[in-house]
Structure 1
């Protein structure tokens, strides 16, 4: 039998078809497991690194590098379940729910999520919380998934409305003391504990909510809206930076700029995200051309937000 006949026989072999379908399903399932978590970026980094190293070793015939890479593969078989243990556990739990594994992991299209409505609801809620002096921390997910934090909070999975946000952050309510995470137009979880920033020197005069807002934006591309319980001041954190002294109109402008709602076809460069802000000495940024109130001193040991 010639090589061509053997190849054709393999192509039309049902076992080869099952082989292809099995591999496709495994890849699909792995992507579904990583969707909505920071593990997706880690997978991209690992695959990109090993692909580059293997290509480099193969093209330049680097025997030592090839020897090392060939012996790393067995270790990865053990390391992968350890690295992705939270994601694998969540995936196996969701496999027990009927139809959950049939969801399309690529269905989160930003253009179909009604971000305009979501921004309007968040801005109106933040403005009312500011007038009432209710402390709040609202995190809007972007490309980096925050599912790891969602599972650690109180899952809500409800439509995003101004009234619901205000009820969540009503003082002494069971869910008011932590963060709310928004995915698309839904409030996914409340009472979510977020990591605090390690930059103590730049945030020494800030409360816990502001430090948590900066912390989560240092680890992801999320946007965090903070309302101070003490002053009613509204702020926005992004990429580890804090924009303070915002009114309702400026808050809407900042969110629309960060979410590219005014320019949906082109992503604005990072340097133009804050065109109307100036950096202060403590690492935060404030709107220019505005008579922002000066920071008041905070007694030592006091953890209320400012």
Structure 2
């Protein structure tokens, strides 16, 4: 077998692609129940490679017979992870760069509704659609397609409303549906103290890029889930700002942070210049004072007669 340059390049490319796929698949299943299945799948793949290297014909025949079953089992077992991965891929910069920022007035309506529900001790789930289409979850609830207002949100989540147990889905300035059923997170790292609402908003954020808000009727705390991350006990007075920050595209946030850093650096430079500017005449004035003091000391010391040394006298 000749080890040509083209063969080596193909081997490197093949290795990089396989490593990339395995690594990202591991990231998707990490912390979920599918992790053990993933490790088992890796063991089977390793066994297949060993069978090819050592020409284990019986093992190769067995693995080849089960290959079709593996594909079907893989799709069934890793269905949530695959759906989440495809959703993340579809919402990456490579496929989609346009992002619509919700208007401040709509965020204000959501903030008012969430604060009022918290004060009244009523539970609620508000899901804000972004790039990922939530059609499958919208179909599980009641279609509303109404203007987004704080009063309507409060009405939906006030018992005995038939829709108060589900989630409302917001698209732009509309409440698209209410009473929607969300997927519950299967993360094994989630604290057992988290209730169904927390698992629901975390689950929808794991499978889509939606921003989900939950109000706990037990603790009256506000929680936000975004990109598989849960933030608890959000300050009600800062909710609008937090939502605006999350709804801002990552590129815009980076550019804004960079611009703020540049402005801060310029302001620091200006302050340093202002502080250094008056110091020059001060140093000159101090130097002149020092010179005059030296001259005064020198003239006064010149007029004085140095003391004569005492003569030694012999004792009588």
- TM-score by length of structure 1 reads 0.49
* Structure with the greater alpha carbon radius of gyration: 2
Of Structure 1 and Structure 2, which has the larger fraction of its residues in helix? 2
